[in-house]
Amino acid sequence: MFESLAQSLRLPDLRRRILFTLAILAIYRLAAQVPVPGADRAAITQILEGTGAVGRLGNFLNLMTGGALEQFSVMAMGVYPYITASIIMQLMTPLIPALEELSKEGESGRNKINQWTYWMTIPLCIAQAFAQIALLNSAGGGVNIVEFGAADPLNSVTVLMALTAGTMFALWLGERITEEGLGNGVSIIIFVSIAAQIPTNLINLATSNVLSLVIVALFTVGIVYAIVIIQEGHRRIPVQYGRQVRGQKVYGGQSTFIPLRVNSTGMIPLIFATSLMIFPGVIGSLMASSDNDTLRSFGITLQNTFISGSSWVYFLVYFILVVGFTYFYADVIFRQQSLHETLQRNGGFIPGIRPGQRTESYLTFVLHRITAFGALFLGIVAVIPYFMQFITPGGLTPQQSMIVDSAGLLIVVGVVVDTIKQLQAQLLMRNYEGFIK
């Protein structure tokens, strides 16, 4: 593996791509240190160290942004608004006929959808920045992390513009990596952001409890191994193409297969579930300060139930949501692909299955059956970080629990595997030995 990596560095074009990627990532990390004017970092740190729902959301965003939220830099939102916009566009595509037709027009259609996704990211940046600041200010115990609102409208506009510009700059850097570097730019930026937080969390855990560090390390290795197995697992559906005679030439007749992945949804179900699980806790925190006794009592109940790691109800609901969203999103992706139509149009068929509706029903049945393993696996991985607080001596702080955060681990493993595959393909094109033996 290291020999192959050394060989790739000897190739001028691959070396240029690798060095260009590293340079762009260095620029991103430097930009993540540029603070938003007037931010109170001490108030943000106090919120992130809390165990409430807002603290959980803050630590998740802080993980995704590589500590930018803790410093409240211009990169405090990372590329998360773009991910949200991408998810919205994916969900809207099968529901809006015009988008569905556009997605079938090949590269030009996909480029148009990508352009609309970027345009959608801008209002989402403004909305998320507004909600994020308001939420953090409400959890600051009377201390605002930044002056915001009617009291200082000029500073509010400045902060919104700075956060929006930071996200769009991060996306521009990601595009440069995709076009001139190595791998998917946005994914690599998220990977670097997560990886940047791991050493700090490990050092904090090692200084507080060595035994907890050993337990967390063993569980992390096991989880990463399981993620690789599940992510790479797929069911091969055999496909046969019929022979067509045109003049004196014979076309078709090949045998191939359709790889249906065990987990075709990646981290998307975890993001959906995390967003929904945080919402009741935030509402409960707001209702807990109400003057009405009934509302205050109900708010305290919601707050105690949906604070991360404090109730078995939280674990159960989170597990169910992850499993449900996995099935939902897998079905959405499958319907967008229209595999049965593609096979029928190209003269392909599954042996023993009639083309058309029968093929669609068969593929849907197989997809739902293998997705059961992927959904259960994601559900188990999702709740492991919370159970770790009970099996480690002294428990874990919210920041330390991010070490085994399910979404973070899925992103890290997925990006590493995909990048290695791309580098392997580049080496194989040049008759070099594969990157993975």
d(CA 196, CA 201): 10
The pLDDT of residue 95: 77
Kind plus residue range of the DSSP H or E element containing 436? none
**Alpha carbon of residue 108 to chain centroid:** 26
Closest CA to 132 of 86, 197, 76: 76
pLDDT of residue 418: 76
At residue 122, the pLDDT reads: 92
Can you tell me the distance from the alpha carbon of 187 to that of 409, in angstroms, rounded to the nearest whole number?
13
Q: Does domain 210-393 have CATH number 1.10.3370.10?
A: yes
Ranges in the chain annotated CATH 1.10.3370.10 = 11-207, 210-393
Dist CA 379 CA 367 (whole Å) = 18
Provide the pLDDT for residue 403: 60
Kindly give the parts of the chain with pLDDT less than 50: 433-435
Q: Which of 374, 31, 366 is nearest to 189 (CA)?
A: 31
The class level of CATH for 11-207 reads mainly alpha
Q: Kindly list the distances between the CA atom of residue 283 and the CA atoms of 135, 140, 167, in Å, as whole numbers in the listed order.
A: 11, 16, 27
CB count within 10 Å of CB 422 equals: 15
- Name the phi and psi angles at 235, rounded to 5: -105, 125
